[in-house]
């Protein structure tokens, strides 16, 4: 019976209903887009898989190593020996050890890009396939002994180039397509920067097979086996040694114990725990800021609802008085208006969520096309998780009911005698 009264009112006077509906829908659309974007980014950076990965990994380097200077052979380089790697692997907390080796001495690379041949000094690293996390490169491919050797570029390098170098210097943006399959000539013992040769130049062929988020930023990564072979065959370095290693523990609870034990072996250990906590704090704070913003926005919408209901009750006081003479109690009248608020809230939340989803589609496309040259970006920017949608809906309905409570009480207390006597 209440819904009949409510729907009749809406049909006859749609203005007030549309005003309340629009206010809530607009507020909800903004809240939904911001929430789902926040959640999408949070999930990308701190999603369960990502978080777990960060909390299971340690980076181990020989104590006192200075990466850049040692690689240019300007200072002697501390090394991680195979025996040390085995010691680490033997720890009960450790699931796997993925060491990185490097070419001894200087080398440069020649590569054809955008129709031009570029030559530059470059660092060459060697990694096991398990470190790559690159879907483009198969294990079989990585284990090949033949030239052209498979090589992997860091995804972050391309993004770095595009974001900071290409834009600033009006250079063309590079994409995966520019690199994949590109043939590279490795020139051992040759340096363009220092204009010197350290011995007879050896030319080796490599081909870019894919991209990895885990390999070294500055340089090219080849199979570790190939690097050892190159060191042995061309650079008279038979002794196998490693620059550093990624150590993965069985589960995050074992991270601290593993860190302490590896540190006791005289090695430097770094974890991304602190960075993770910083990132988590950033998301927590931004989430808090968003919630404050949402609360303010909803409070504004709620005030509009309250004002509209009060105006409506003033307009409808005659009708309320008639209903009371016919047998409705004050409680019934209050229930009537609270039900109306509930219906407005429910319809607004359905409409708002749908509209937000519709808006997010072209918006996501537009953002993706702006970021199309970035290799490191989330698959979905706006993540419409069921729990977010549920809480947004519930909050909208709650606000609608909350801000109609006082007007409903006012309606309940109206005296039919006073009103009908006028």
Binding part of the chain for another protein, among 6-14, 98-106, 160-168, 350-358 by CB under 8 A, reads 6-14
Two tokens, residue 224 = 């570790």
Binding part of the chain for another protein, among 3-11, 150-158, 179-187, 362-370 by CB under 8 A, reads 3-11
Does position 319 bind another protein by CB under 8 A? yes
H or E element that contains 31: helix 14-46
Residue placing its CB nearer to another protein in the complex, 58 or 321? 321
Nearby residues of 70 by Cβ (< 8 Å), 6 or more positions away: 76, 77, 78
SS3 152: strand
Task: Give the integer Cα–Cα distance in Å for 396 and 117.
Answer: 60
Question: From the CB of 340, what's the least distance to another protein, in Å?
Answer: 13
User: Read out DSSP for 322-340?
Assistant: HHHHTT--HHHHHHHHHHH
SS3 242: strand
Binding part of the chain for another protein, among 169-177, 184-192, 299-307, 318-326 by CB under 8 A, reads 318-326
> Can you give the C-alpha Rg of the chain in angstroms?
33
Residue placing its CB nearer to another protein in the complex, 135 or 327? 327
Instruction: Pick one of 140, 326, 379, 386: the residue that binds another protein (CB under 8 A).
Output: 326
Question: From the CB of 1, what's the least distance to another protein, in Å?
Answer: 4
Residue placing its CB nearer to another protein in the complex, 332 or 376? 332
**Per-residue CA distances from 172 to 162, 175, 300 (Å):** 8, 10, 47
Does position 274 bind another protein by CB under 8 A? no
SS3 249: strand
Binding part of the chain for another protein, among 9-17, 22-30, 89-97, 264-272 by CB under 8 A, reads 9-17
Question: From the CB of 327, what's the least distance to another protein, in Å?
Answer: 3
Does position 328 bind another protein by CB under 8 A? yes
Does position 325 bind another protein by CB under 8 A? yes
Does position 146 bind another protein by CB under 8 A? no
Backbone phi and psi for residue 196, each to the nearest 5 degrees, phi listed first: -145, 160
Burial class of 286 by CB neighbour count within 10 A (0 to 12, 13 to 18, 19+): middle
SS3 271: strand
Two tokens, residue 245 = 């290693």
DSSP-derived secondary structure letter, 137: S
Question: From the CB of 415, what's the least distance to another protein, in Å?
Answer: 9
Residue placing its CB nearer to another protein in the complex, 11 or 274? 11
Residue placing its CB nearer to another protein in the complex, 137 or 321? 321
Question: From the CB of 18, what's the least distance to another protein, in Å?
Answer: 16
Q: Which of residues 185-204 bind another protein (CB under 8 A)?
A: none
Does position 3 bind another protein by CB under 8 A? yes
Q: Which of residues 12-71 bind another protein (CB under 8 A)?
A: 12-13
Does position 8 bind another protein by CB under 8 A? yes
Residue placing its CB nearer to another protein in the complex, 314 or 331? 331
Q: Could you tell me which residues are beta bridge partners of residue 186?
A: 109, 204
Task: Give the integer Cα–Cα distance in Å for 327 and 41.
Answer: 56
Query: Is residue 191 within 8 Å of residue 117, measured between CB atoms?
Result: no
Task: Give the integer Cα–Cα distance in Å for 44 and 374.
Answer: 14
Binding part of the chain for another protein, among 11-19, 44-52, 162-170, 400-408 by CB under 8 A, reads 11-19
Question: From the CB of 420, what's the least distance to another protein, in Å?
Answer: 7
Instruction: Pick one of 332, 351, 368, 388: the residue that binds another protein (CB under 8 A).
Output: 332
Does position 323 bind another protein by CB under 8 A? yes
Task: Give the integer Cα–Cα distance in Å for 35 and 32.
Answer: 5
Position of tokens 């607009």?
26
Task: Give the integer Cα–Cα distance in Å for 320 and 316.
Answer: 6
Instruction: Pick one of 1, 90, 177, 264: the residue that binds another protein (CB under 8 A).
Output: 1
Question: From the CB of 400, what's the least distance to another protein, in Å?
Answer: 21
CA atoms in the 13 A half-sphere facing the CB of 287: 14
Instruction: Pick one of 282, 288, 296, 420: the residue that binds another protein (CB under 8 A).
Output: 420
Helix runs in 327-385, H state only: 330-370
Instruction: Pick one of 252, 330, 371, 380: the residue that binds another protein (CB under 8 A).
Output: 330
Contacts with another protein by CB under 8 A lie at 1, 3-4, 8-9, 11-13, 318-319, 321-332, 416-417, 420-421
């Amino acid at each position: 019976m209440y819904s009949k009264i409510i729907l009749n009112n809406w049909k006859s006077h749609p203005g007030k209903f549309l005003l309340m509906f629009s206010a809530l829908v607009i507020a909800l659309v903004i809240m939904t887009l911001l929430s789902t974007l926040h959640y999408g980014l949070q999930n990308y950076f701190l999603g369960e898989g990502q978080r777990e990965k960060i909390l299971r990994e340690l980076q181990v380097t020989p104590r006192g190593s200075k990466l850049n200077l040692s690689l240019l052979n300007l200072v002697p380089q501390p090394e991680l020996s195979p025996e040390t790697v085995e010691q680490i692997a033997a720890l009960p907390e450790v699931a796997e050890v993925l060491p990185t080796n490097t070419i001894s001495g200087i080398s440069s690379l020649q590569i054809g890009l955008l129709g031009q041949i570029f030559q530059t000094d470059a660092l060459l690293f060697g990694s096991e396939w398990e470190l790559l996390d690159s879907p483009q490169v198969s294990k079989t491919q990585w284990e090949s002994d033949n030239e052209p050797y498979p090589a992997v570029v860091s995804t972050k390098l391309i993004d770095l180039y595009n974001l900071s170098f290409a834009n600033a210097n009006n250079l063309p943006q590079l994409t995966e397509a520019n690199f994949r399959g590109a043939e590279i000539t490795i020139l051992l013992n040759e340096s363009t920067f220092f204009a010197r040769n350290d011995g007879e130049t050896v030319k080796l062929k490599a081909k870019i097979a894919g991209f990895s988020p885990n390999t070294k930023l500055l340089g090219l990564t080849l199979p570790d086996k190939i690097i050892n072979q190159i060191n042995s065959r061309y650079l008279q370095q038979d002794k196998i040694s490693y620059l550093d290693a990624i150590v993965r523990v069985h589960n995050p609870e074992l991270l601290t114990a593993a860190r302490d034990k590896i540190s006791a072996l005289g090695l430097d250990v770094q974890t991304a725990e602190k960075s993770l906590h910083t990132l988590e704090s950033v998301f927590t704070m931004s989430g808090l800021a968003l919630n404050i913003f949402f609360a303010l926005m909803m409070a504004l919408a709620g005030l509009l609802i309250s004002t509209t209901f009060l105006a409506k009750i003033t307009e409808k006081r005659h009708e309320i008085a008639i209903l009371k003479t016919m047998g409705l109690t004050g409680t019934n009248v209050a229930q009537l208006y609270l039900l109306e608020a509930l219906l407005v809230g429910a319809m607004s939340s359905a409409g708002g969520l749908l509209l937000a989803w519709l808006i997010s589609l072209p918006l996501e496309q537009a953002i993706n096309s702006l970021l199309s040259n970035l290799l490191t970006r989330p698959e979905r920017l706006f993540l419409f998780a069921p729990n977010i949608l549920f809480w947004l809906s519930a909050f909208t309905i709650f606000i609608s009911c909350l801000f109609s409570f006082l007007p409903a009480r006012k309606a309940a207390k109206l005296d039919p005698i006073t009103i009908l006597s006028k």
